[in-house]
């Protein structure tokens, strides 16, 4: 009998955008990815998605990290800050540019709003040289369908040309796009499985295409349900989700474990975070995650 091929040790990550303090929805995603990595004897990393300096702040980043620590969620290696990776993103764009994969786009926003969600290709062949003034850079996507097998959501396929169009990899204001930054950093951190909210499921084909064109390894993908309010809206700071109370970590963990499909014993309520987490890791089974979780959110 052939021994099964060795699999790379699991490396997962939690990648919050520091646009505000951690709320229950992001604690949920953090805890699922933590339990998954720990129960597989893997490494758990934290990345701060702060490419967009206009929306993010170092104060929020510090606040998020402190909240994770207060909940016993300790990461294994140095925190990666996307704001410090501009050089890597720029080099990748140069590579794509040299292969003719990107083009400048000067379409005004209101024009694109009229044409709908799929970029109509207006600037694909418009410029021989970079135009003077501001412009975004878009990736020239091809006709091929991009598919992958999500561990929880099954087979996903997308025809980027028809369903998305040439997407932005660098904004007009010079800020690198999320898709570009995330694939480079997932590779940089040696992530073996990207586990994140299902709201990002349909951005995965774009990221897979970028991985292919940049010669980066493709991690596995696992998209988990997100917490929503009663109206089905994802919990977010914009939608009025309150920050988690850092002074009640045990209670928060106990509540979130219940939402994750675990039934923590009542004796754990009030136990130190480390003890609750040990229990969670020992009982963790990602297949028991409920498909949807509505939370009554309180607005101040
Ligand atoms: N920073 C993204 C967010 O907060 C997550 C990115 C990812 O997991 O790829 O929604
Ligand atoms: Zn354009």
pLDDT of residue 251: 93
Cα 132 to Cα 104, 128, 162, 172, 249, distances in angstroms: 10, 12, 30, 12, 53
pLDDT band for position 296 (50/70/90)?
low
Of 45, 40, 43, nearest to 30 (Cα)? 45
Q: Which atom of ligand 1 is nearest to the CA of 47?
A: 1
299 pLDDT higher than 50: no
Q: Encoding tokens for residue 79?
A: 């925190």
pLDDT of residue 5: 64
216 CA from centroid of ligand 2 (Å) = 27
CA neighbours closer than 13 Å in the CB half-sphere of residue 232: 1
Average the pLDDT over 285-289 and give the result.
Answer: 94
DSSP 273: H
pTM of the model: 0.93
Average the pLDDT over 296-300 and give the result.
Answer: 46
Indicate whether 72 belongs to any domain: yes
pLDDT of residue 215: 98
Contact yes or no for 226/199 (Cβ under 8 A)? yes
pLDDT tens-digit map of 96-151: 999 999 999 999 989 898 888 999 999 999 998 889 989 999 999 999 999 999 99
pLDDT of residue 272: 96
Contact yes or no for 16/26 (Cβ under 8 A)? yes
Contact yes or no for 46/79 (Cβ under 8 A)? yes
Indicate whether 24 belongs to any domain: yes
pLDDT of residue 224: 96
pLDDT band for position 6 (50/70/90)?
low
Sign of CA dihedral 236, 241, 247, 249: negative
Find the farthest-apart pair of alpha carbons in the chain and give their distance in angstroms, rounded. Answer: 69
Contact yes or no for 278/270 (Cβ under 8 A)? no
Q: Please give the residue range of the domain that contains residue 48.
A: 11-99+182-294
Of 251, 190, 240, 198, nearest to 216 (Cα)? 190
Indicate whether 175 belongs to any domain: no
Q: Which atom of ligand 1 is nearest to the CA of 182?
A: 9
Kindly report the average pLDDT of the chain as a whole number.
Answer: 93
CATH of the domain at 22: 3.40.50.620
Indicate whether 177 belongs to any domain: no
Indicate whether 174 belongs to any domain: no
Indicate whether 109 belongs to any domain: no
Contact yes or no for 71/102 (Cβ under 8 A)? no
Residue minimizing CA distance to atom 6 of ligand 1: 15
pLDDT tens-digit map of 211-226: 999 999 999 999 999 8
pLDDT of residue 154: 96
88 CA from centroid of ligand 2 (Å) = 25
2 CA from centroid of ligand 1 (Å) = 39
16 CA from centroid of ligand 1 (Å) = 6
pLDDT of residue 116: 87
Indicate whether 129 belongs to any domain: no
From 11, 16, 24, 61, mutation site for ligand 1 pocket: most ligand atoms within 8 A of C-beta: 16
131 CA from centroid of ligand 1 (Å) = 32
Contact yes or no for 73/274 (Cβ under 8 A)? no
CB atoms within 10 A of CB 84: 10
240 pLDDT higher than 80: no
Of 182, 260, 258, 188, nearest to 221 (Cα)? 182
Return left, alpha or beta for 232; rule: phi > 0 is left, psi -120 to 50 is alpha, else beta: left
47 CA from centroid of ligand 1 (Å) = 9
Indicate whether 161 belongs to any domain: no
pLDDT tens-digit map of 165-214: 999 999 999 999 999 999 999 999 999 999 999 999 999 999 999 999 99
pLDDT of residue 300: 35
Residue minimizing CA distance to atom 7 of ligand 1: 15
Number of domains in the chain: 1
Contact yes or no for 206/213 (Cβ under 8 A)? no
DSSP 19: S
Residues around ion ligand 2, judged by CB within 5 A, are: 105, 107, 122-123
- Residues having CB within 6 Å of any atom of ligand 1: 15-17, 49, 182, 196, 200
């Amino acid at each position: 009998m052939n021994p099964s091929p060795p699999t790379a040790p699991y490396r997962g990550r939690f990648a919050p955008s520091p646009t505000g303090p951690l709320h229950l929805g992001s604690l949920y995603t953090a805890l699922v990815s933590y339990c998954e990595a720990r129960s597989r004897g893997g490494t758990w990393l934290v990345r701060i998605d702060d490419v967009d300096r206009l929306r993010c702040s170092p104060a929020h980043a510090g606040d998020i990290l402190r909240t994770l620590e207060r909940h016993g969620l300790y990461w294994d290696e140095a925190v990666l800050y996307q704001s410090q990776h501009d050089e890597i993103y720029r080099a990748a764009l140069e590579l794509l540019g040299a292969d003719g994969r990107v083009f400048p786009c000067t379409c005004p926003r209101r024009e694109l709003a009229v044409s709908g969600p799929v970029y109509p290709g207006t600037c694909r062949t418009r410029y021989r040289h970079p135009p003077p003034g501001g412009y975004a850079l878009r990736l020239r996507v091809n006709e091929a369908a991009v598919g992958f097998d999500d561990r929880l959501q099954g087979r996903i396929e997308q025809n980027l040309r028809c369903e998305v169009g040439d997407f932005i990899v660098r904004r007009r204001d010079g800020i690198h796009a999320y898709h570009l930054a995330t694939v480079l950093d997932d590779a940089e951190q040696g992530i073996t499985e990207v586990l994140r909210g299902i709201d990002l499921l349909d951005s995965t084909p774009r990221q897979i295409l970028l991985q292919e064109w940049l010669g980066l390894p493709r991690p596995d993908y696992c998209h988990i349900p997100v917490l929503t309010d009663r109206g089905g809206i994802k919990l977010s700071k914009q939608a009025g989700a309150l920050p988690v109370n850092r002074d009640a970590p045990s209670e928060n963990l106990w509540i979130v474990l219940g939402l994750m499909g675990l039934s923590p014993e009542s004796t754990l309520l009030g136990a130190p975070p480390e003890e609750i987490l040990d229990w969670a890791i020992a009982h963790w089974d990602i297949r028991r995650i409920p498909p949807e979780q509505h939370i009554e959110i309180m607005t101040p």
